[in-house]
Amino acid sequence: MTKLRLAIVGAGPAGIYAADILLKAERKFDVSIDLFDHLPAPYGLVRYGVAPDHPRIKGIINALRDVLDRGDIRIFGGVRFGEDITLDDLKQHYNAVIFATGAIRDADLDIPGIDAIGSFGAAGFVSWYDGHPDFPREWPLDAASVAVVGVGNVALDVARVLAKHVEDLMPTEIPANVQAGLEASQITDVHVFGRRGPAQVKFTPLELRELGELRDVDMVVYDEDFDYDEASKAAVTSNKQVMVIDRVLQSWRKRPSVNGEGGEASRRLHLHFYAKPVEIETDDTGRASAIVYERTKPDGQGGVVGTGELRRIEVQQVYRAVGYFGSPLPGVPFDKKHGVIPNHEGQVLHKDSNERVPGVYATGWIKRGPVGLIGHTKSDAMETISHLINDQGSWWTPADPSPEAITRLLSERGVRWTDLDGWHRLDQHEVALGEPHGRARIKLVERDEMVRVSRGE
């Protein structure tokens, strides 16, 4: 029987779902799968991109854990593609590779002053509060007033964590350095900006409701944003999700803090709609001092046009949460405009000729861009796997497909990789750290310490 040795680069939901779907698919060949990730721990954005106070979403980890714990997928954590292993290496030891590396960079926001001191991409802040080992341990939270640009779920996560009191995050798995950073926060006001109206936001009702439940935080909305045009009214009546979002926002209009007046909380979270940021002003030191935005209005078709009216709010920090963007991989075609690997339904294409690259596939956000929720990754992986199975005639012919070959190669290069047993050791260690404090776990942050614990050293 034909054997397929498959490498998957990326151990987040996209990579794990792809492995699981292939192993469960009807096929006429045996499969062995090796899963590589540059981080010592698996689960990708579920571990390092979901806010720590989202236990429901993190429940996805339980399903991913069940897949890995079957033991029919080998894990190589802490292995950097392009440094520790290359595409040529994979061709020597596998029949094909699927790239599932996601999108972790921030999309650009091209306005004057966006590079000011105190102006950040949301991805960096998310990685900090999620304890990502490759990001700084400290984060400056010395601003009283901050701006968050964007109205997607990431923008609301960032706004919520900035506004929330640290003691209300203590039941979660935030690391000690994040606790210390949030305890030192000087924030009193968080301003969220979206260029369109309340009926066109990208966040989900669950995310929005959670904002209104924050302790000692006033939700501030502005009456002028709710003079809906016909397109917005139609969206509210025809779309259940938009209807629920509108219902939540309308309930906030009845609170004392509407239009920024009358609230008694120590912190405020303002939602500004029809507000298109056009500039970040800076002081003499180059630090952000204000955000300037243009007031927009509905165009009658669900979009907006500018009014020419400029407004200004003093802020000392700005977080742009306008989307994620993929990163290029050495030796792999890359579309710089869209931040993805060029592909047809997961079959990777040469960038210039659009011809297929034999043996190379993509799935998840690096395939389709950073759109959709985590659950959408399953159907995405099914499409890629379907092509992989049907492309048997164009797989690579590896010189040494033995399972021992890749471990020997990594050992010769001095790579201190982590495996499934190592992840179990790290997992148990973090859980044990949290137990004395009544917490589910406390994450380790230092990469070397994660590897040491994983390898039992």
Distance CA 36, CA 8 (A): 6
Sheet with 189-193: list strands edge to edge.
119-121, 317-320, 145-149, 189-193, 267-272, 217-220
Contacts of 310 (CB under 8 A, 6+ apart): 278, 292, 293, 294, 295
User: Does 254 share its domain with 399?
Assistant: no
Q: Are 16 and 87 in the same domain?
A: yes
Shared-domain flag, residues 26 and 157: no
CATH, residue 335: 3.40.50.720
Token pair, residue 50, equals 């979901």
pTM of the model: 0.93
Q: 110 and 192: one domain?
A: yes
Residues 332 and 311 in one domain: no
Instruction: Tell which of 297, 320, 343 closes a domain.
Output: 320
At position 295, the amino acid (one-letter code) is R
Q: What is the pLDDT along the chain (457 residues), one digit of tens a residue?
A: 688 999 999 999 999 999 999 999 877 789 999 999 999 999 998 899 888 888 677 678 888 999 999 999 999 999 999 999 999 999 999 999 999 999 888 889 999 999 999 999 999 999 999 999 999 999 999 999 999 999 999 999 999 999 999 999 998 989 999 999 999 999 999 999 999 999 999 888 988 998 999 999 999 999 999 999 998 999 999 999 999 999 999 999 998 887 777 778 999 999 999 999 999 999 999 999 999 999 999 988 778 999 999 999 999 999 999 988 999 999 999 999 999 999 999 999 998 888 999 999 999 999 998 876 676 788 899 999 999 999 998 999 999 999 999 999 999 999 999 999 999 999 999 999 999 998 889 999 999 999 999 999 9
The answer to whether residue 457 sits within a structural domain is no
Q: Both 300 and 351 in a single domain?
A: no
Residue 404: C-alpha distances to residues 33, 90, 362 (Å): 13, 13, 25
Whether residues 308 and 222 share a domain: the answer is yes
Are the C-beta atoms of residues 267 and 217 closer than 8 Å to each other? yes
Per DSSP (E only), the strands in 122-194 are 145-149, 189-193
- Picking from 320, 345, 371, the residue at the C-terminal end of a domain is 320
Q: Which residues sit opposite 314 in a β-bridge?
A: 290
Q: Which of 298, 320, 342 is the last residue of a domain?
A: 320
Residues 198 and 269 in one domain: yes
User: For residue 337, what are the contacts with CB-CB under 8 A and spacing of at least 6?
Assistant: none
Q: What is the pLDDT of residue 222?
A: 95
Q: Are strands 96-99 and 2-9 parallel, antiparallel or unpaired?
A: parallel
447 in a structural domain: no
Domain of 368, in residue numbers: 2-104+326-417
CB 366 within 8 A of CB 98: no
Same domain, 38 and 49: yes
Within 10 Å of residue 109's Cβ, how many Cβ atoms? 17
Instruction: Flag whether 425 is in a domain.
Output: no
Do 336 and 385 fall into the same domain?
yes
- Residues with Cβ within 8 Å of 36's Cβ and at least 6 positions away in sequence, in order, are 7, 8, 9, 10, 11, 76, 79, 81, 85
The verdict on 383 and 288 lying in the same domain is: no
In a domain, 444, yes or no: no
